[in-house]
A and B are shown apart, each in its own frame.
Chain A
Amino acid sequence: MSNPPEEAPITRRVAERPSLQPGKVREIRARNLGVRLIAGALTSVVAGVVTIAFGVRAGGILLAFPAILAASLTLIEEQEDSAEAREDARGAVIGGCALAAFAATAAIAMGELDGGIALALATVAWLLVALLGYRLAWFR
């Protein structure tokens, strides 16, 4: 019985580089998009209910509930394989860090600056952490 090929952990850089492949858009299945949409929408509804019941801070916790990630892992394993699902999860660790940067920036800037500017700063923070995380973790 042969051993499965060793997968690269999150700290090991891999040779694969990000590339733009517009043709892949044709492979997107409406069902998969629909599942992710429904998961995100349901989470938003629940977050809204929690906000009404327990306040905006409590509702904010659910804004980072991994509903879409959970749906994506299942769909990716179904369409591709478990190794690809694990890669998606590894990427989501960086995404989670970027989300924390977004939340921290928004928590500081909201109320102090114009709302649009605060959102823009938070988005930039997300982008910087996401790109830096990807660069440090994977990009050769």
Chain B
Amino acid sequence: MLLDKGGHAARENATGMLAGSAGMIAYAAAAVPLLRRMRASYAAAAALGAWVAVAAIIAVPVLSA
């Protein structure tokens, strides 16, 4: 992004990444108890709900700012 569209676009890209990384933290944290209860393939899929939820919540102020 930096090379293709420059610093401003890269900054915008990184700003969006804040929401995604919050979702990543939630995903990993959710995966731990899920892995106790089910197979990893199912747990990995189920934990995506945490990523979507948290990323969406953080994305609202990020995208509207």
**Contact (Cβ within 8 A) B27 A66:** yes
Taking CB atoms, residues of chain B closer than 8 Å to A63 are 13, 16-17, 20
- Nearest Cβ in chain A — how far from B64, in angstroms? 10
Is A76 engaged at the interface, CB distance under 8 Å to the other chain?
yes
Taking a contact as CB atoms closer than 8 A, the residue among B25, B39, B43 that contacts A96 in the complex is B25
How large, as a class, is the contact surface on chain B?
Answer: 35 or more
Give CA–CA (A95, B16) in the complex, Å: 17
Give CA–CA (A55, B11) in the complex, Å: 12
- Nearest Cβ in chain A — how far from B22, in angstroms? 6
**Contact (Cβ within 8 A) A110 B27:** no
Smallest CB-CB separation from B64: which chain A residue? A57
Taking chain B's interface residues, is the majority helix, strand, or loop, or is none over half, making it mixed? helix
- Nearest Cβ in chain B — how far from A86, in angstroms? 5
Q: How many residues of A contact B (CB 8 A)?
A: 46
**Contact (Cβ within 8 A) B23 A55:** no
Is A92 engaged at the interface, CB distance under 8 Å to the other chain?
yes
**Binary B-proximity of A19-63 (CB < 8 A = 1, otherwise 0):** 000000000000000000000000000000001000111111111
- Nearest Cβ in chain B — how far from A22, in angstroms? 27
Smallest CB-CB separation from B62: which chain A residue? A57
Contacts from A to B (Cβ < 8 Å): 10, 51, 55-66, 69-71, 73-74, 76-78, 82, 85-86, 89-90, 92-93, 95-97, 99-100, 102-104, 106-107, 110-112, 115, 118-119, 122
